[in-house]
Structure 1
């Protein structure tokens, strides 16, 4: 699955001042990333505020991104939730003709057992006509999917091709990298740990900050995959402060502030999220201007 190697970006959903989806800004964001080295695009993931996007908006977002992309980069679609039947139904209902892969988040809030995770993703695998990347993010779901469960899924289902691992735990990355099948992709979901994961043998990252600084972040990942540690870490250190800043309050308020200062979209988010505070916005703006 070479199409999911390198830097993918978890695209935000741009909003107008009155919180409508801003499709012109979305096109601008897609083109900015294509032109600056992003390897693939992730649509309607959790960073896209998928919890507050309507079904109609989701379908329009897919159509607009697919049209703007025009086959230039692989497209990965976020389809996940804590109602397994609903996730399966969505996979069967959606037109996935323009989509190359599915990113499916581990069930949140319900706190399933490891067997529950396994059975959920078994159902997703059987319903999906596209390759599946499972997504472990215990800081948001409230339950960690253990490496043994991820590796069991990798062994049992041919179309589960990778994991976006966002446990913010370097040892968990190493446990996966040590025992994963050779063709199974270990993809970082932690921008701050991405370079370390890649240097350990990871396939790359699905990044939030990458959509703001696609040239630099994708170059860092490429250098890491080539084993050029010194050059890669120079970029890591340049971006380290902004990576911390964008997650200080909530995601995607931080990255939307970055994109506002880059004149790509507004900083608007839908409730229950609120925009970054003035103090954080000022620091982000100063970083972007200096960078």
Structure 2
């Protein structure tokens, strides 16, 4: 699916100091990304603090993003969990008319076997009205979806079109890229691995930093897709410190700090997450100043 290549961004949910959703800032964020080179938007992923949103809030966030986007970019909706029947029901019951795909995380906490992971995604995919992007993030789920399982899904389940791969083992990503079907997308789920994975034959990234630095990250990925290695790595190393700073105190505290420095939203999170420290905000400010001088 060509529309889901390049730079996708996992949008945050901006909050006010009292914990309510800051919808005007969400609109600003969508427009900022649409206007600065992003290829598609991911709605209600982990970065959106979806676990802290109630069902009404999720519906409101979806509607605001759809309205702000106004069909300018493809949308992907996050629907995942560790109860296969419930995830399937949520997908079936959701209005997916405006979404190109569903992003669904590998079951967390239960720690299923590889066969269990395969059956979970197969069950979801065969009942979903839109394509599925599977999401492997062992650092959050407590289990790894091995390359062999991903390739089995890619070859045997036609409605599974991509993986967002966030394993810390880069070689696992290259194992998938090497043996995947031609039209199966391998999307980086880690900003630091985004460029090397793209150059190795991947399809881009679903990025956290990208929503705060959309112009630079999109140029980096697009240079990578065109095999313009020197140009792409120049940007990669300009952003190198920010890739790490925004995760230093957890996600999305870091990216919200960066966005607050840029005046796009406030830095507030919902418990159990807390906003970035003053020292981290200061470090991000200094790095942004350095990048503005470099560019």
- Verify: 1:192 aligned to 2:192, yes or no: yes
Give 1:161 deviation, angstroms: 0.2
Distance 2:23 2:96 in 1: 20
Give 1:290 deviation, angstroms: 3.2
Q: Which moved more, 1:184-193 or 1:121-130?
A: 121-130
Give 1:169 deviation, angstroms: 1.7
Task: Map 1:96-175 onto structure 2 (within 5 A).
Answer: 96-175=96-175
Task: Map 1:264-283 onto structure 2 (within 5 A).
Answer: 264-283=264-283
- Verify: 1:254 aligned to 2:254, yes or no: yes
3-state DSSP of counterpart to 2:163:
strand
Give 1:278 deviation, angstroms: 1.5
Distance 2:116 2:272 in 1: 29
Count how many residue pairs are aligned between Structure 1 and Structure 2.
Answer: 291
Q: Which moved more, 1:69-78 or 1:93-102?
A: 93-102
Give 1:36 deviation, angstroms: 0.2
What's the TM-score once normalised by structure 2's chain length? 0.97
Give 1:264 deviation, angstroms: 0.6
Where does residue 14 of structure 1 map in the other structure?
14
3-state DSSP of counterpart to 1:210:
helix
Distance 2:252 2:178 in 1: 32
Distance 2:222 2:151 in 1: 25
Give 1:201 deviation, angstroms: 0.4
Give 1:46 deviation, angstroms: 0.6
Where does residue 227 of structure 1 map in the other structure?
227
Task: Map 1:3-152 onto structure 2 (within 5 A).
Answer: 3-152=3-152
Distance 1:97 1:117 in 2: 27
- Verify: 1:206 aligned to 2:185, yes or no: no
3-state DSSP of counterpart to 2:174:
helix
Distance 1:148 1:165 in 2: 13
Q: Which moved more, 1:179-188 or 1:84-93?
A: 84-93
What's the TM-score once normalised by structure 1's chain length? 0.99
Give 1:127 deviation, angstroms: 2.2
Distance 1:223 1:168 in 2: 24
Q: Tell me if structure 2 keeps the 8 A contact 1:153–1:160.
A: yes
Distance 2:53 2:168 in 1: 27
Note the aligned Cα RMSD (angstroms).
0.8
Distance 2:96 2:286 in 1: 41
Distance 1:164 1:284 in 2: 27
**Deviations 1:150-205 (CA, angstroms, capped at 9, x unpaired):** 01011111110000000022101110111000000000001001100000000110
3-state DSSP of counterpart to 1:121:
helix
Where does residue 286 of structure 1 map in the other structure?
286
Q: Tell me if structure 2 keeps the 8 A contact 1:262–1:288.
A: no
Give 1:288 deviation, angstroms: 2.1
Distance 1:246 1:10 in 2: 14
